[in-house]
Amino acid sequence: MAADPYTTPQNPVTTLARPRVNPGTAFSRALPAISTTGVLILGRYWHAHGAAHSIGDAILTGALAVGCTIAAAVVDGADSATTRATALGLAGGCAAAGIIGYSGELALPLIIWALATTAAYALARRTWRTERHGQIEHDRRMEADRARYDNKLQVEAIRAHAIELQSQYSVTAAAYQAKALAAVIGSQTAIPAVDPAVFALSPGARAALEPSTLRLIEPTTADQAPVTESIS
């Protein structure tokens, strides 16, 4: 069975692909909550080991938070947005850790944890939306390119099939012409040769055409006498 020219190995019939779940996407969605929860746990552990109502530890974490904020304000360059976001995140983590470690009761650390988690998700949501729009645009361009290349492959397959059909038609026509020519030549060779003796004159005709001076013409009837006629 001949292969379909419209479906080539390089251009198979595409089917609807099932969407795949990226494990990294789920982890990135949970990363803000994991980060703030980790800061809460480490702050309470620090509280249990000497940071409770410690002015020095509170000043240390406050200084770290201020330093990270200043670094985020003065950073500049190609990756300034990423560096600024990282510095601001560290500043917020240091400030939250200082408050959680200094506070004696658990109510204030939980409030700080809830606020930090909300702020982290609010900031991350913008990044996720930008990434999603970029991914959608990338998929759209890839789909357009795939459709264009599939169209080119189908056109080339149709052209190749047309050339193949034209070649087969040319070969068939040439074979038919050769067969017809051979039949004509065979029929011509079957005609018998013409004998030159057929067109030769008989002796009587040849003698009649000779320039004789006299020829006796036979009478047409029995009662007529011979007549002598001069032939010049």
The pLDDT tens digits of the residues spanning 162-210 come to: 999 999 888 888 888 888 888 877 766 555 565 666 666 667 666 666 6
Angle 68-72-74 from CA coordinates, rounded to 5°? 115
From the number of C-beta atoms within 10 Å of its C-beta (0-12, 13-18, 19+), residue 62 rates as middle
Q: In the numeric block, which tokens belong to residue 10?
A: 């390089």
Cα 232 from Cα 229, distance rounded (Å): 10
- pLDDT at residue 16 in the model: 42
- Judge if pTM exceeds 0.75: no
Q: What percent of the chain has pLDDT over 90?
A: 14
What radius of gyration do the chain's Cα atoms show? 56
Counting as low any pLDDT under 70, the low residues of the chain are 1-24, 77-79, 187-202, 204-232
Say if CB 87 and CB 71 are below 8 A apart.
yes
Residue 71 lies in a domain: yes
Residue 26 lies in a domain: no
Tell me how far CA of residue 30 lies from CA of 22, 33, 117, in angstroms: 13, 6, 10
Residue 138 lies in a domain: yes
Domain hosting 79: range is 31-142
- pLDDT at residue 10 in the model: 45
Residue 19 lies in a domain: no
- pLDDT at residue 8 in the model: 45
Cα 167 from Cα 134, distance rounded (Å): 49
Residue 62 lies in a domain: yes
Residue 60 lies in a domain: yes
Cα 42 from Cα 141, distance rounded (Å): 46
Residue 175 lies in a domain: no
